[in-house]
Amino acid sequence: MNEQEIDKSVRDFFLCQKLPAEKVQSILEQGKPQPKRNNTAGWHHWVPVAAAAIIVMAFSFQMGRSYNDDNFYFDVAGEIAMRHNGYKSFDVKAASFEGAQEGLRDLAFSVTPLVKQKLLSAYEVLGARYCQLQGQQAAHLQVKNRKTGTLCTLYVASLKGSLTSLRSLDREIVLEANHLDIWEDSDRLFALVD
């Protein structure tokens, strides 16, 4: 047999071969587009987990918002006492609240109290300087108790930012080394440190 005869017999052999009908049908079925599977079926398992996470986050946020006001009062009182004890020089020399206000021209609020005037009339203003209280602009006034001669500090700050939680406050706080009277006066926070 020569090469041509071998090629012809191989070709004839393969041309006579047929696939069974079911095999042909199976091949044709594989070529057809498959119906799409539901891709959202997997997320149903995560819905309870996501709901629980949202509830935990909401609860945590609410607990953070209901931060104990007593702790915040003591934080503010501690900051005030720390500044009182860490004496710094006063930029403005003044003999009255009006004089302190005049020297602290950039203040967005008045340092003159409207309430507790009887309490503050027992103190003489000596000087003032700018400062900050919980990130808010404040005035730090040096005052002297007329009766005892003790140098004290009066802080005045606008009730903005985190200080708004101290609205309607009229409280006496006793720390280890200091005694503080804190009160609200016309959207301002006053704190007197003895």
C-alpha span between 80 and 134 (Å, rounded): 10
Say whether pLDDT at 19 is over 80: no
Alpha helices per DSSP H over 43-89: 47-65, 69-85
DSSP state of 115: S
Q: Long-range contacts made by residues 25-32, C-beta under 8 angstroms, separation at least 24?
A: none
Question: 90 vs 39, 87, 94, 121, 172, CA distance in Å?
Answer: 71, 9, 10, 21, 26
Q: What is the pLDDT of residue 116?
A: 75
Full-model pTM: 0.58
Say whether pLDDT at 43 is over 70: no
Say whether pLDDT at 94 is over 70: yes
Per mean pLDDT, which range of 12-26, 38-52, 99-113 is the poorest? 38-52
Helix (H) or strand (E) holding 180: strand 179-184
Exposed, middle or buried, 74 (CB in 10 Å: 0-12/13-18/19+)? middle
What is the per-residue DSSP string for 133-151?
Answer: ETTEEEEEEEEEETTT--E
Say whether pLDDT at 135 is over 60: yes
Q: What is the pLDDT of residue 165?
A: 64
Q: What is the mean pLDDT of the chain?
A: 77
**Average pLDDT value for residue range 10-17:** 75
Predicted confidence band of residue 89 (pLDDT cuts 50, 70, 90): confident
C-alpha span between 161 and 183 (Å, rounded): 17
Q: Tell me which residue of 179, 176, 139, 171 sits closest to 156, measured CA to CA.
A: 139
Question: Which residue do the tokens 């108790």 mark?
Answer: 145
